[in-house]
């Protein structure tokens, strides 16, 4: 992905074509039908089901962005290990890309897998969602994002809702 972004950057001169970053924020996971909720505040931790997530945004045009995201979390206690891996592909649209700040809208699809060592089993499933945010460039090589998102999970995560609010920090190339 970075090779494509760097190649496109050379073709377009000084324009920004790639952004790599992470975010901090609050993620609320709740189960539909009164199953309760969990609130997670993380640094980083405003990602796929509240896991620490990094993103690489590739600007296919000044307005259109393609953003793969990867999340990984490993918790260990009492001889048991809980491992969580998540992948998301997000497509977004910047409303005013020529300005330093722009509102954006995005749609995404995700996949999450969580497993417990020692025969504890595993769960996995896809999720679909969207985001609304504001992205502004502070300098030529720094972008800040404020966003809100919703994602609905399926399969083993049936009826799980994810609501997140984040502050992202990305380096631009």
Confidence of residue 44 (pLDDT cuts 50, 70, 90): low
Which of the following CATH numbers is that of domain 2-172: 1.10.10.60, 2.40.128.110, 3.30.420.40, 2.40.160.20?
A: 2.40.160.20
Per-domain boundaries in the chain: 2-172
Q: Would you state the pLDDT for residue 45?
A: 67
State pLDDT tens for residues 58-108. 999 999 999 999 998 888 988 899 999 999 999 999 999 999 999 999 999
Question: What pTM was computed for the model?
Answer: 0.84
Confidence of residue 170 (pLDDT cuts 50, 70, 90): very high
What is the rounded CA–CA span in Å between residue 136 and residue 119?
46
Mean pLDDT throughout 46-63? 88
Question: What secondary structure, in 3-state letters, does 45-110 show?
Answer: CCCHHHCCEEEEEEECCCCEEEEEEEEEEEEEECCEEEEEEEEEEEEEEECCCCCCEEEEEEEEEE
Residue closest to 22 by CA, chosen among 49, 59, 53: 53
Q: Would you state the pLDDT for residue 144?
A: 97
Residue 139 CB-density burial (10 A; 0-12 exposed, 13-18 middle, 19+ buried):
exposed
């Amino acid at each position: 992905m970075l090779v494509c972004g760097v190649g496109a950057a050379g073709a377009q001169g000084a324009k920004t074509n790639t952004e790599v970053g992470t975010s901090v924020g609050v993620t609320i996971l709740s189960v539909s039908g009164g199953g309760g909720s969990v609130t997670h505040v993380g640094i980083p931790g405003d990602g796929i089901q509240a896991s620490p997530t990094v993103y690489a945004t590739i600007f296919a045009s000044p307005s259109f962005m393609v953003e793969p995201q990867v999340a990984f979390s490993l918790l260990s206690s009492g001889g048991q290990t809980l491992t969580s891996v998540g992948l998301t592909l997000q497509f977004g649209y910047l409303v005013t890309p020529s300005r330093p700040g722009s509102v954006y809208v995005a749609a995404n699809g995700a996949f999450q897998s969580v497993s417990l060592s020692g025969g504890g089993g595993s769960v996995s499933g896809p999720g679909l969602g969207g985001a609304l945010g504001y992205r502004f460039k502070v300098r030529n090589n720094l972008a800040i994002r404020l966003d809100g998102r919703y994602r609905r999970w399926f399969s083993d995560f049936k009826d799980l809702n994810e609501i997140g609010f984040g502050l992202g920090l990305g380096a631009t190339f």
